Structure 1
Amino acid sequence: MNPSIWIGALSLILAEALFAGVGAMVKHLSDSASQTQLVFFRNLFALIALLPVVGRLGLTGLKTQKPALHIIRATSGLIAMYCFFYVLSHIPLAQAMMALLIAPFVIPFIARFWLREIITTKTWVAMAIGFCGAGFVLQPNEGGISIYIALALLCACLVAFTKCAIRKMSDTEPSARTVFYFTGIATLVSLFPMLINWQPMSDEAWLWLIAMGIMAAAGQLLMTKSFQLASPARIGLLTYTNVLFAAGLGYWFWNETLSSGLFIGIGLIIWAGNITLRQRWLI
Structure 2
Amino acid sequence: MQNPATKDISLAKALMCLMTSAFLFSIMGVCIRFASHTVDNATIVFFRNAVGLFIFIPMLFKQGLNFVKTEKLWMHTWRSLVGLTAMYGFFYAIANLKLSNAMVFSYSSPIFIPLIAWLFLKEKVTKSMIFAAVIGLIGVLFVAKPDQGMFNALSFIGLGACFLSAMAFVTVRALTNTEPPERIVFYFCIFGTIISSVPMFWHWRAFTWNELALLVAAGLLANTSQLFMSYAYSLAPAGQIGPMNYIAIVFAGIWGFIFWHELPDTSSLIGIAIIIFAILLCNPRIQKRFFSAST
Q: Match for 1:90 among 93, 96, 103?
A: 96
Q: Distance in 2 between matches of 1:224 and 1:273?
A: 19
- Answer whether contact 1:23 1:88 (CA < 8 A) is retained: yes
1:159: which partner in 2? Answer: 165
- Answer whether contact 2:112 2:163 (CA < 8 A) is retained: yes
Q: Match for 2:225 among 206, 219, 224?
A: 219
| CA apart distance, 1:65 | 2.0
What amino acid is aligned across from residue 245 of structure 1 in structure 2?
F
What amino acid is aligned across from residue 204 of structure 1 in structure 2?
N
2:117: which partner in 1? Answer: 111
Q: Match for 1:141 among 138, 143, 147?
A: 147
1:29: which partner in 2? Answer: 35
| Secondary structure in 1 matching 2:56 | helix
| CA apart distance, 1:43 | 1.1
| CA apart distance, 1:88 | 2.7
What amino acid is aligned across from residue 146 of structure 1 in structure 2?
N
Structure 1 152/259 Cα, relative in aligned 2: closer, same or farther at 3 Å?
A: closer
| CA apart distance, 1:245 | 3.5
| Secondary structure in 2 matching 1:64 | coil
1:72-120 per-residue CA deviation (whole Å, 9 max, x = no partner) reads 0111112222233233322322233334555222211001221222233
- Answer whether contact 2:139 2:271 (CA < 8 A) is retained: yes
Q: Which stretches in structure 1 are left out of the alignment for 5+ residues?
A: none
1:244: which partner in 2? Answer: 250
Is 1:122–2:128 an aligned residue pair? Answer: yes
Is 1:71–2:70 an aligned residue pair? Answer: no
Q: Distance in 1 between matches of 2:121 and 2:23?
A: 27
Q: Distance in 1 between matches of 2:247 and 2:26?
A: 10
What amino acid is aligned across from residue 254 of structure 2 in structure 1?
G
| CA apart distance, 1:225 | 7.6
1:198: which partner in 2? Answer: 204
Is 1:175–2:186 an aligned residue pair? Answer: no
Q: Decide which moves more: 199-208 or 171-180.
A: 199-208
Q: Match for 1:39 among 31, 45, 53?
A: 45
Q: Decide which moves more: 42-51 or 55-64.
A: 55-64
Is 1:60–2:66 an aligned residue pair? Answer: yes
Q: Distance in 1 between matches of 2:254 and 2:134?
A: 23
Q: Decide which moves more: 87-96 or 183-192.
A: 87-96
The structure with the largest alpha-carbon Rg is 2
- Answer whether contact 1:102 1:153 (CA < 8 A) is retained: no
Structure 1 137/84 Cα, relative in aligned 2: closer, same or farther at 3 Å?
A: closer
Q: Distance in 1 between matches of 2:122 and 2:19?
A: 25
Q: Decide which moves more: 76-85 or 175-184.
A: 76-85
| Secondary structure in 1 matching 2:124 | coil
CA RMSD of aligned residues (A): 3.9
Structure 1 136/81 Cα, relative in aligned 2: closer, same or farther at 3 Å?
A: closer
What amino acid is aligned across from residue 39 of structure 1 in structure 2?
V
| Secondary structure in 1 matching 2:205 | coil
Q: Distance in 1 between matches of 2:250 and 2:141?
A: 12
| Secondary structure in 1 matching 2:282 | helix
Structure 1 78/196 Cα, relative in aligned 2: closer, same or farther at 3 Å?
A: same
Q: Distance in 2 between matches of 1:161 and 1:12?
A: 22
Q: Distance in 2 between matches of 1:133 and 1:143?
A: 15
Q: Distance in 2 between matches of 1:270 and 1:91?
A: 20
Structure 1 205/82 Cα, relative in aligned 2: closer, same or farther at 3 Å?
A: same
TM (normalized to structure 2)? 0.76
Q: Decide which moves more: 25-34 or 132-141.
A: 132-141
What amino acid is aligned across from residue 87 of structure 2 in structure 1?
M
| Secondary structure in 2 matching 1:198 | coil
